[in-house]
Amino acid sequence: LHVTTDLSPGAAAAPTLDQSRYLTQVMRLKAGDELLVFNGRDGEWRATIAEVLKKGVILRAEAQVRAQINPPDVHLLIATVKKSALEFAVEKATELGAARISLVTTQRTQAQHLRLDRLDAIAEESAEQTGRLDVPLVDAPRKLDAILDGWDASRRLMFCDETGGAPAIPALQAAGGSSWAILIGPEGGFSPEEGERLRSLPFATSVSLGPRILRADTAATTALTLWQAAIGD
């Protein structure tokens, strides 16, 4: 279970009301039962349900069972595609170890009402299910040009270019580096100007994800998998 409070021997760990309901009503846990908790900073801890109160359960942290490890340093930058594809991409990126998921608006993204709290909840649930010790940050949408203008050049960019790009694994291995970001475009792809700018960036590696056009959520999942195969651990 993901908690936000600090974890140390005997510390009280306070789940949210929803989480408390899930523990007591869905999982049917009661006082004295044990579960594993993590907060993204202190590794994974065994905790006991100390009290079941109306306003929620109180957990008592007992002992650390896994030291903190952070996933390989890869960010997913994905254009704001339609809701179901974005939710799928957030879930798969969390399972595949993305440390951060940044939403990007490009010339061809469609304006839409985004529920960031829903994407955060998907990332948290997926992190708990996959046994990670942290929950990826999901950033609110920012314009592609602004992201590139403020780019930290110590991070390489895997530009997934459906109009060309080199075979991914050798291109990633040739580029080297350990901090990466993966960029996936919208349903309509990148505009010619965007493609031209991206291909000209010194920190970008333009890669192909194969001969077929993938949906953005499939492309995100594929790109993260190829990145893991070439660079990640």
Stretch that binds ligand SAM, among 56-64, 117-125, 149-157, 160-168 (CB under 6 A): 160-168
Q: Which is nearer to ligand SAM, 147 or 219 (CB)?
A: 219
Among 174, 193, 184, which residue's Cα sits nearest to residue 214? 184
Residue 154 sits at φ, ψ, to 5 deg, of -75, -5
> CB 82 → ligand SAM: shortest distance, Å?
11
Distance of alpha carbon 23 from alpha carbon 155, whole angstroms: 40
> CB 65 → ligand SAM: shortest distance, Å?
39
For residues 86 and 119, is the Cβ–Cβ distance under 8 A?
A: yes
Distance of alpha carbon 177 from alpha carbon 163, whole angstroms: 25
Distance of alpha carbon 109 from alpha carbon 169, whole angstroms: 28
* Residue-by-residue DSSP string for 80-96: ---HHHHHHHHHHHHHT
Using rule CB under 6 A, residue 165 touches ligand SAM:
yes
> CB 19 → ligand SAM: shortest distance, Å?
35
> CB 212 → ligand SAM: shortest distance, Å?
6
Taking CB under 6 A as the rule, which mask of x and - marks residues 46-85 in contact with ligand SAM? Answer: ----------------------------------------
Structure tokens at 44: 């994974």
| Member of 15, 97, 136, 185 binding ligand SAM (CB under 6 A) | 185
Residue 119 DSSP one-character state:
H
Distance of alpha carbon 128 from alpha carbon 161, whole angstroms: 32
Using rule CB under 6 A, residue 170 touches ligand SAM:
no
Q: Which is nearer to ligand SAM, 93 or 133 (CB)?
A: 93
* Residue-by-residue DSSP string for 10-65: T-EE---HHHHHIIIIIS---TT-EEEEE-SSS-EEEEEEEEEETTEEEEEEEEEE
For residues 181 and 99, is the Cβ–Cβ distance under 8 A?
A: no
Using rule CB under 6 A, residue 13 touches ligand SAM:
no
Stretch that binds ligand SAM, among 36-44, 58-66, 116-124, 161-169 (CB under 6 A): 161-169
Q: Which is nearer to ligand SAM, 34 or 187 (CB)?
A: 187
> CB 83 → ligand SAM: shortest distance, Å?
15
Using rule CB under 6 A, residue 216 touches ligand SAM:
yes
Taking CB under 6 A as the rule, which mask of x and - marks residues 189-208 in contact with ligand SAM? Answer: xx-----------------x
* Residues at the site binding ligand SAM, with contacts judged by CB under 6 A: 160-162, 165, 184-185, 187-190, 208-210, 212-216, 219
